[in-house]
Amino acid sequence: MGELVRLEINDGIGTIRLDRPPMNALNIQVQEELRAVAAQITADDSIRAAVIYGGEKVFAAGADIKEMADMSYVDMAKRAGALSSAFDAVARIPKPVVAAITGYALGGGCELALTCDWRVVAEDAKLGQPEIKLGIIPGAGGTQRLARLVGPAKAKDIIFTGRMVDAQEALAIGLADRVVPADKVYDEAINLVRAYVGGPAQALAAAKAAIDGGLDRDLAGGLAWESQLFAALFATDDKREGMAAFVGKRPPEFTGR
């Protein structure tokens, strides 16, 4: 259990709860606790899906600028890789993960949301990458994941200007997947992933790996990667159960093995 990042588990869903009031600034401690929680969720077979939530008022308003203000090039050259890999650990959780966004998801907060498979956003929420206004650029995946999600032109618009994106624009460009009233965000996020709790965990992990890994390959490489993951699933209990249930005309009872 982290001091600033808590993991709460209920009915097979793990909630990663950011708890660094007032704005959940993502300092080094939060980054490393996120890494630890991601490893815990990955290793715990009882957790079948996850939600990242900053609370009713704010998701995360960005990095801890006071912590970074006095850092030199040498300081950040030592830290930048660890910052990126902490967020990447969340992106590599082999289970469905959704960000439940209230208030602000700016800078590192937006980058954390981008590591998730989906984003449920409050109607009054604001997202963005305002690092350019500090004389820097996103350093925890923003230039890469945002461009892959919304396309390079729109990513350049958001990153070059540092402007905030409201919920409706986020929905229109694919940065948000669902927009709901602020008091419904967490429940909607839970409902989104609840369907996967009893699903075939190995197949879900393979599907996530195939899609995410395929984005880093050309088509031929992606197809080869997909074929490898597809064939591997024929060694699982869930494959046998799923096909037996289909032939027997009954609902499958997946075990995640």
The catalytic residue positions are 63, 108, 111, 131
Spatial distance between the Cα atoms of 125 and 175, rounded to a whole number of angstroms: 12
E strands present in the chain: 5-10, 13-18, 49-53, 97-101, 104-106, 118-122, 126-128, 164-166, 178-180
> How many other CB atoms are found less than 10 A from the CB of residue 198?
15
Spatial distance between the Cα atoms of 20 and 6, rounded to a whole number of angstroms: 11
Q: Maximum Cα–Cα distance for the chain, whole Å?
A: 66
Phi first, then psi: what are they for 44, rounded to 5°?
-90, 105
CB 61 within 8 A of CB 24: yes
Spatial distance between the Cα atoms of 248 and 188, rounded to a whole number of angstroms: 34
CB 150 within 8 A of CB 174: yes
User: DSSP string of 20-56?
Assistant: -TTTT-B-HHHHHHHHHHHHHHHH-TT--EEEEE--S
- Which residues, 6+ apart, have CB-to-CB distance to 177 below 8 Å? 118, 119, 120, 121, 171
